[in-house]
């Protein structure tokens, strides 16, 4: 995969969103970043743009614990629409949860490429983008 053009951040933590967006911008890791404060808004966006490939994020950083629709609920809804999306979307779950059950569940979920524990470092983010090919 070449450099992602569009990155989605789904997280209810405004500071985390700001920080991750700044890192992506500063290191020119993508052309554009989309931000959503819960999974429901992200699913609405994906549904509205499902047939417009360039509007679908190449990479999504997904929080696990959010109000309205959490990361697991997002994955359930995403799985229903995945076959209609005409590109591979890499989803990385980013959570403050160190619960082994969450990590094991993420590892067993086909839609999740990897699981990171907050706070993520610049090295973690760069590692994702330096190794995108291994996640495809």
DSSP for 36-69 reads ESSHHHHHHHHHHHTT-GGGS-SEEEEESS-SSS
Q: What is the DSSP letter of 86?
A: S
**Would you say 25 and 124 are in contact if contact means Cβ atoms under 8 Å apart?**
no
Give the per-residue pLDDT at 60.
96
Residue 116: strand, helix, or coil: strand
User: Strand 32-36 and strand 59-63: pairing?
Assistant: unpaired
Give the per-residue pLDDT at 2.
58
| Cα separations in angstroms, 58 against 3, 15, 17, 100, 128 | 9, 23, 17, 27, 12
Give the per-residue pLDDT at 115.
94
Euclidean distance between CA atoms 47 and 49, whole angstroms: 5
Identify the residue with better confidence: 86 or 3.
Answer: 86
Mean pLDDT of 116-132: 85
pLDDT digits (tens, 9 = 90+) for 63-114: 999 999 999 999 999 999 999 998 999 999 999 889 999 999 999 999 999 9
Give the per-residue pLDDT at 11.
96
Q: Is the pLDDT of residue 125 over 90?
A: no
11: phi then psi, degrees, rounded to nearest 5: -165, 135
């Amino acid at each position: 995969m070449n450099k992602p053009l569009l990155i989605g951040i789904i997280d209810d933590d405004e500071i985390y969103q700001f920080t991750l967006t700044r890192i992506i911008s500063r290191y020119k890791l993508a052309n554009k970043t989309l931000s959503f404060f819960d999974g429901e808004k992200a699913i609405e966006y994906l549904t509205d743009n499902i047939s417009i490939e360039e509007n679908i994020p190449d990479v999504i950083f997904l929080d696990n614990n959010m109000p309205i629709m959490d990361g697991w609920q997002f994955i359930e809804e995403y799985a229903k629409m995945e076959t209609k999306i005409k590109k591979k979307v890499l989803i990385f779950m980013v959570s403050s949860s160190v619960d082994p059950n969450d990590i094991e569940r993420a590892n067993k979920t086909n839609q999740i490429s990897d699981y990171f524990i907050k706070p993520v470092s610049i090295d973690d983010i760069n590692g994702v983008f330096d190794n995108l090919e291994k996640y495809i």
